[in-house]
């Protein structure tokens, strides 16, 4: 035990010693009630690294006094899953208070076939599944298994919780309690650990072990001396990938070039695929800027082509230029809304017939049936325009496009109002 890492030596053994996650295991926490009542459902514990998912699973097993089986998704296959399920069936079973718990760490690493192998055991009550994941279960857990589990979200530890954890370690750990340790400063420990309690304790122990016998004063300077670097946590295939690209896009949409460049830098430093970033800006140029500034789409497309040609590190400059241009551009989602509304009408009304005047008439029979006869060729009329009902009669005069409140689209509104004033309402916006 003395040779175990500090995080293992002071791992909580019961609910009262468990720090944080009050929304789950506090006095009124939903999961706490299930544990105390013995009505534990199959569940997924989702949260950042070092937030106590494995610890909580162990506590659930101990509090409920159930047989406990554990698998790691890193080194377990379908065969291992089936073997454990067979053992669990023999040790517990349906309608028993001792229904075994099967804990799978990093369940997001299980393939579809591995997750499929769990379905029958969970559905028939042979085991109560507890899965732990740092990734969004919506993306990483198959729907059939996810529908059979409750998802509980664990939050990153708050500053007060982490500081309490450090003081607890000094007080209760059988190794540290025999040392003269003063926790003078905590900022460096908290910053480097990034809310990961296990990492915090590992760093804390590393710093302490680096010091000679005698009193030890933990300062920010001492911590930074012992811990050389703190690379940004960024998993380009996981939750951070989705969260940071979301922050990046929302910052551009919100016209904040400073935040846009910051989130861009986070992705670049994390090793994100630069073409992925460029593709997302290409989409945004149409979705969030559109005809308010058509040059934005050209800019974004050129940036994508350039990034595809030029490698890192030079391509970061192109991405930065494009991100700043898009962030400082006037915004409009009128085109995005128009196609969305049109698609919704299509879903509601189905395959409405094309008006006869708009149909192609390559044969004599089709011409005799009236195909294309009513159509007005725009270039045969003044101003190259002739009002005509181009929509199916069932949805005649339905307006999908609403120009935004910006100079370019206001000019489009005026253009449409002059031509379609008896058909669509394109009167100028008030104010």
7-16, 99-108, 316-325: which is most confident: 316-325
What's the pLDDT band for 94 if we cut at 50, 70, 90? very low
Q: Can you read off the two tokens belonging to residue 73?
A: 């998704």
**Residue of higher predicted confidence among 417 and 38:** 417
| Helix/strand/coil for 70 | strand
Which pLDDT score, from 0 to 100, does residue 255 have?
94
pLDDT tens for 314-354 read 999 999 999 999 999 999 999 999 999 999 999 898 889 99
Give the domains, in start order, of the chain with CATH numbers.
21-153 (3.40.50.300), 159-226 (1.10.8.60), 239-327 (1.20.272.10)
Q: Can you read off the two tokens belonging to residue 297?
A: 């789409």
Cα 171-176-177 angle, rounded to 5 deg: 45
pLDDT tens for 238-264 read 556 778 888 999 999 999 999 999 999
Which pLDDT score, from 0 to 100, does residue 204 have?
93
Q: Can you read off the two tokens belonging to residue 49?
A: 């690294």
Q: What is the mean pLDDT of the chain?
A: 87
* Rounded Cα distance, 407 and 146, in Å: 48
What percent of the chain has pLDDT above 90? 44
Mean of pLDDT values over 284-300:
96
Mean of pLDDT values over 371-392:
88
Which pLDDT score, from 0 to 100, does residue 244 have?
87
* pLDDT tops 60 at residue 1: no
* pLDDT tops 90 at residue 427: no
Which pLDDT score, from 0 to 100, does residue 233 have?
54
Mean of pLDDT values over 61-87:
84
Residue matched to tokens 């979301």: 246
The total number of residues written for the chain in this structure: 431
Query: Is 0.75 topped by the overall pTM?
Result: no
**Burial (0-12, 13-18, 19+ Cβ within 10 Å), 193:** buried
Which pLDDT score, from 0 to 100, does residue 297 have?
97
Question: For the chain, give me the number of helices (H) and strands (E)?
Answer: 20, 7
Burial pattern 354-370, b for ≥16 Cβ within 10 A else e, equals ebeeebebeeeeeeeee
* pLDDT tops 70 at residue 93: no
């Amino acid at each position: 035990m003395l040779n175990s890492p500090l995080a293992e030596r002071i791992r909580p053994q019961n609910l009262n010693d468990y720090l944080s996650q009050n929304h789950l295991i506090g006095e009124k926490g939903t999961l706490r009630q299930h544990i105390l009542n013995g009505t534990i459902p199959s569940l997924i514990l989702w949260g950042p690294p070092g937030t106590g998912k494995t610890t909580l699973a162990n506590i659930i097993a101990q509090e409920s006094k159930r047989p406990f089986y554990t698998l790691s998704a890193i080194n377990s296959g379908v065969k291992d899953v089936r073997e454990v399920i067979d053992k669990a069936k023999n040790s517990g079973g349906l309608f028993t208070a001792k229904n075994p718990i099967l804990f799978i760490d990093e369940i997001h690493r299980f393939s579809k076939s591995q997750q499929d192998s769990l379905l029958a055991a969970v559905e028939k009550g042979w085991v109560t599944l507890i899965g732990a994941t740092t990734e969004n279960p919506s993306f990483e857990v198959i729907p059939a298994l996810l529908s059979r589990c409750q998802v509980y979200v664990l939050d990153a530890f708050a500053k007060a919780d982490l500081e309490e954890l450090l003081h607890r370690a000094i007080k209760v750990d059988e190794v540290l309690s025999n040392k003269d340790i003063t926790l003078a400063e905590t900022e460096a420990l908290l910053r480097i650990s990034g809310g990961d309690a296990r990492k915090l304790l590992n760093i804390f122990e590393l710093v302490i072990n680096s010091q000679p016998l005698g009193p030890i004063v933990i300062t920010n300077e001492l911590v930074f001396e012992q811990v050389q670097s703190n690379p940004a946590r960024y998993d380009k295939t996981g939750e951070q990938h989705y969260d940071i690209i979301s922050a990046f896009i929302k910052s551009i949409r919100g016209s904040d070039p400073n935040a846009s460049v910051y989130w861009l830098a986070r992705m670049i430093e994390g090793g994100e695929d630069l073409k992925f970033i460029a593709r997302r800006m290409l989409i945004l140029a149409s979705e969030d800027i559109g005809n308010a500034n058509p040059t934005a789409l050209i800019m974004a497309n050129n940036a994508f082509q350039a990034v595809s040609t030029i490698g890192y590190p030079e391509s970061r400059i192109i991405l930065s230029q494009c991100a700043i241009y898009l962030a400082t551009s006037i915004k409009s989602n009128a085109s995005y809304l128009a196609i969305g509304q049109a698609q919704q009408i299509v879903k509601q009304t189905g395959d409405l017939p094309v008006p006869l005047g708009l149909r192609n008439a390559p044969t004599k029979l089709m011409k005799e049936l009236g195909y294309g006869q009513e159509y007005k060729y725009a270039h045969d009329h003044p101003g190259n325009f002739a009002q005509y009902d181009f929509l199916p009669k069932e949805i005649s005069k339905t307006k999908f496009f609403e120009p935004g409140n910006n100079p370019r689209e206001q000019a489009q509104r005026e253009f449409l109002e002059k031509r379609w004033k008896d058909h669509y309402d394109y009167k100028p916006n008030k104010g």
